[in-house]
Amino acid sequence: MRATSLRDIDLNLLVILDVLLQEKSVSRAAGRLHLTPSAVSHALSRLRKLFDDDLLIRDGRQMTPTLRAQEIAVSLPSTLRQVAHLFTAPKTFEPATSTREFRLAAPDFVAPLVVQTVTRSAPHIRVCCVSNTSVTLREVSHGDCDALIAPSVFRHEGLRARQLGEWPWRVYGRSGHPAFERWSMDAWTSYPHLQIWGSPEGRTRGPIDKRLAQLGVKRHVGAVVPYFSMAASILANTDLLLTVPSMTMASMQTRFRLEQHDVPFELPGMSLSLFHSATHGGESGIHWFLERVEAACSLL
């Protein structure tokens, strides 16, 4: 039996074969397909050549399928449904009724805003927020995590990015902190500092320490905590200083009566981006979720 190339296959022939195997009659198949009997007979001749088999043998007024045709009849309907599905437009995402789960990897100061923004318009949706330090870029590119908020310097060939904005670095401390009486580089280095493990400074040698190395200046890190949400209460009750991008403390500064001052040396702002899979980002549900995350981050 000769090998058959996909280029030799007319899908319309398979549709006709499916009906022929169900009706076992050229005339009845022609009626269902709105074709003439001669057109169906011609198609059957082409199918016999394609499969190198008689497929249907006349037996009185009916046609009996061959063993090969019986095998084809088992799988052909599902095959045609799968092909038809390829050309079916995906269902439109309906946030008001959807019960879908979305997974976001983001710093903890972003998560509450995202949850609030999403649940207002989609009460049945579940948002699963995890630390952006617990998810790899590969997981995001594969669609295992729907979105990641991280510094814009991150790169991965399987990701697309939407820039969320750039924020200046600021120094935070308790109200009345003695360092702020005569604010300077000497005052900044005279007190211990708080670091956030999940920040750009907490995991690697980040922008601050790189800049300090250029300036030949050292600082003492007195404490490291895992979340931004833990920082404000610590600052309010100690003489620790915290140097972070301004958006990280926006919701806590007034509540904990923290003072904010400019960094006493030149330091470029922190740019954040919303990363998502290059192959999944066009899906309507993901597109909707990314827009909600962007809207939430615009409040920072």
Give pLDDT tens digits for 240-292. Answer: 999 999 999 988 999 999 999 999 999 999 999 999 999 887 788 999 999 99
pTM metric for this prediction = 0.68
Q: What is the pLDDT of residue 202?
A: 45
Q: How confident is the model at residue 204 (pLDDT cuts 50, 70, 90)?
A: low
Report the sign of the C-alpha dihedral through residues 256, 261, 264, 270, in that order: positive
Q: Are 188 and 173 in contact (CB under 8 A)?
A: no
* pLDDT, tens digit (0-9, with 9 covering 90-100), for 177-200: 999 999 999 999 999 999 997 554
Residues 120-132 have a mean pLDDT of 92
State which of 42-46, 206-210, 282-286 shows the largest mean pLDDT.
42-46
Q: At what angle do helices 37-51 and 26-33 cross, to 10 degrees?
A: 110
Domains observed in the chain: 6-86 (1.10.10.10), 101-165+271-297 (3.40.190.10), 169-268 (3.40.190.10)
194: CB partners within 8 A, 6+ apart: 221, 222, 223, 224, 225, 231, 234, 235, 238, 240, 241, 242
Residues 57-78 have a mean pLDDT of 90
